[in-house]
Amino acid sequence: MSVILAALTSDPNLLRCELHRLQGQVLLHGDSRANAVGVGSYAQDEVLLRRYASSEALTLDSLAPPHESDALLFHAGQLPVGLSLEENTQPFRSRRWLFAHQGDGQGLEPLRAALMDALPDHLRRQVRGGTPGELLFATFLKNLRDLGRTEDPRLEAELAGRVLADTAREVARAAAQAGVARTPSLNLVATNGTLLAATRFGEPPLFCTRLEGAAECELCEVTPSTPDTQPAVSAHRRRHTVVVASHLKRSAGWVELAQGHTLAVGPDLQLHELTGV
């Protein structure tokens, strides 16, 4: 099963510190060896992607971008032989959006033609690879486009979460109509750098936590004895970060997202759990 890790933070300068705090809590490896690993992050107006052929040498510290970033999305999975690393590695990107799918995509293959036919031309042209994740992303973008909110910087987190959940529900319904015996696992995560949405539609779990500010940081050498007059102390105390993860080492402090539920997080970093999928 593929691995997802996503973070949205209040202080883009401290994203690397927040990833470091996750040491001993999350895993970057699944049950099988990943041969397609991607990390998406933001650098002001740019969305940057890094791709690797394996996750074995990666650590949480190495995921941190070399620049400040409000959000990060990591995915590690296994591509079938013959599929291009460049075109098929998640997360996928379209303008400000980053997207990742966790689950077995085999049950989605009978739906490929129908889902492609439902896309507008410009989104159909964006689907260059052969994985279902990219097609799910295009379906999500189509649903945002239908609302006229694809590039809206004021898009509400709850609305983005509803659209993500509707995408999973739409695909599950199409699978049932196509006679797919087992509903595909559709755990989906999306961010545009200012909001984070994650929906769980399947057996594989998704977990979330909120990291609260603390005046300690090993990376920045901030300790309880560091004077309050140091700017780093107040910055670390004010920081807050929401994290979504599929694989944990330690579950203390984490909440498992229930099946059929969606998490929506906006710039205020408040967690909103939506039901109704």
Indicate whether this model's pTM tops 0.85: yes
Please give the residue range of the domain that contains residue 233. Answer: 3-274
Q: Which of 170, 63, 163, 85 is nearest to 129 (CA)?
A: 85
What is the pLDDT at residue 105? 66
β-pair type (46-52, 71-77): unpaired
Half-sphere exposure of 76 (CA within 13 A, CB side): 24
DSSP 37-86: EEEEEEETTEEEEEEES-STT--HHHHS-SS--SEEEEEEE-PPTT--HH
Please identify every stretch of the chain with a pLDDT value under 50, giving residue numbers as ranges: 277
What is the pLDDT at residue 163? 98
What is the pLDDT at residue 70? 96
Contact 187, 206 (CB under 8 A): yes
What is the pLDDT at residue 63? 96
What is the pLDDT at residue 80? 81
What is the pLDDT at residue 1? 78
What is the pLDDT at residue 81? 80
* CA of residue 10 relative to chain centroid, distance: 17
What CATH number has the domain bearing residue 235? 3.60.20.10
Contact 5, 246 (CB under 8 A): yes
Contact 161, 262 (CB under 8 A): yes
What is the pLDDT at residue 106? 66
Domain count for the chain: 1
